[in-house]
């Protein structure tokens, strides 16, 4: 009965259609991605602005910045869990190996940063003696447990790591967005469309 039905190698990629010739991410994966984008830009923006605020106006910005960070952390963990349940479509064969490796490195670095950065920020505020309670409660009204007593020395180290990773984010985002634009505008393949 050869020729009846498609072999596994010829089976269409999940979500493959005229708009997505190389398949596409699941609807849930797309939601995770596009919810993370505005939260990340808002968190980066508020993080850059806080240092220039007058002391009496800083607390609302800290509360917003920290809440955004924890929302991003929750989304990143959920995204990774979803990837375990519903793996993304494989990159198509026309993508060169060097680009596959570069994409994997950037994606792994972004996932690591999306998780590590909020954790560092949360530990930093606790080490400075400002747990997410009262004026800086999560989402403005959810007090989170205090995990440590104030430790100024540790707080300085954690703050340095949080700041360093914060400055790395624009580089990672530039690589990620630049890669998407390169594939869409120059290679004219369906890479960007997989997430749309």
User: For 17-75, how does the pLDDT look when each residue is reduced to its tens digit (9 = 90+)?
Assistant: 666 666 788 889 899 999 999 999 999 999 988 888 888 788 888 889 999 999 999 99
Residue 122: strand, helix, or coil: helix
pTM over 0.85: no
According to CATH, the topology of domain 27-195 is Fumarate Reductase Cytochrome B subunit (1.20.950)
139 in Cβ contact with 97 (< 8 Å): no
Work out the average pLDDT over 147-157.
90
């Amino acid at each position: 009965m050869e020729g009846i039905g498609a072999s596994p190698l010829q089976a269409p990629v999940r979500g493959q259609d005229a708009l997505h010739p190389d398949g596409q991410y699941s609807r849930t994966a797309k939601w995770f991605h596009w919810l993370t984008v505005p939260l990340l830009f808002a968190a980066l923006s508020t993080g850059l602005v806080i240092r220039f605020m007058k002391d009496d106006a800083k607390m609302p910005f800290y509360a917003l910045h920290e809440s955004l960070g924890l929302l991003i952390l929750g989304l990143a963990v959920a995204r990774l869990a979803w990837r375990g349940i519903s793996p993304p479509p494989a990159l198509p064969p026309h993508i060169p190996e060097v680009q596959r490796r570069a994409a994997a490195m950037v994606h792994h670095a972004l996932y690591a940063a999306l998780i590590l950065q909020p954790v560092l920020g949360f530990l930093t505020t606790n080490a400075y003696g400002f747990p997410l309670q009262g004026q800086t409660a999560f989402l403005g009204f959810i007090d989170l447990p205090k995990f440590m007593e104030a430790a100024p020395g540790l707080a300085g180290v954690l703050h340095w790591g949080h700041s360093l990773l914060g400055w790395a984010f624009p580089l990672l985002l530039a690589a990620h967005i630049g890669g998407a634009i390169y594939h869409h505008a120059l290679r004219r393949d369906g890479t960007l469309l997989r997430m749309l």
